[in-house]
C-alpha cells in the first residue's frame, strides 16, 4: 500500500471561499480513482504553531494506483487551477505501508 501525504500553507490573502473550493473540488476525486483505499483532507486543527494549513492523506493499493491519481486529469486540474494559485508552500511524501 502507498500512503500519499500532501501539506499546504496558504498565501496570506487566501479567502475562505478559496479554501472551501479546495475541499469541494477534492471531494469530487475519489469516485474517479481506481485503487483508492481511503482519502481524507482538511484544515489544520490549530493545535501547534508552525503547522501547515491544510493536508491531504490518501491510501492506494499500489504504486500504479498512486500514479493514476497523480496523473489523473481531474487531479491535475485541481492542483494547478484551484490549489496552485493560493498555495505559498507545498510539501508531500509517499510512503510504503
CATH number at residue 69: 3.30.70.100
Determine the pLDDT at residue 91. 98
DSSP assignment of 31-92 equals: GG-TTEEEEEEEE--S-STT--SEEEEEEESSHHHHHHHHH-HHHHHIIIIIITTTEEEEEE
pLDDT band at 14 (very low <50, low <70, confident <90, very high): very high
Residue range(s) defining the domain that contains residue 47 = 2-96
> What is the Cα–Cα distance from 60 to 96, expressed in whole angstroms?
10
The total of structural domains in the chain comes to: 1
Q: Quick check: 32 and 73 in contact, CB under 8 A?
A: no
Q: What is the pLDDT of residues 22-58, one digit of tens each?
A: 999 999 999 999 999 999 999 999 999 999 999 999 9
pLDDT reported for residue 60: 98
Cell output for 61: 493499493
CB 81 within 8 A of CB 25: no
Amino acid at each position: 500500500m502507498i500512503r500519499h501525504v500532501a501539506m499546504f500553507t496558504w498565501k496570506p490573502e487566501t479567502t475562505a471561499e478559496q479554501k472551501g473550493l479546495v475541499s469541494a473540488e477534492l471531494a469530487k476525486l475519489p469516485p474517479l480513482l481506481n485503487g483508492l483505499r481511503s482519502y481524507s483532507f482538511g484544515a489544520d486543527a490549530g493545535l501547534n504553531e508552525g503547522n501547515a494549513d491544510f493536508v491531504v492523506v490518501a491510501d492506494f493499493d499500489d504504486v500504479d494506483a498512486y500514479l493514476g491519481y497523480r496523473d489523473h486529469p481531474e487531479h491535475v486540474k485541481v492542483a494547478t487551477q484551484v490549489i496552485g494559485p493560493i498555495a505559498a508552500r507545498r510539501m508531500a511524501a509517499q510512503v510504503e505501508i
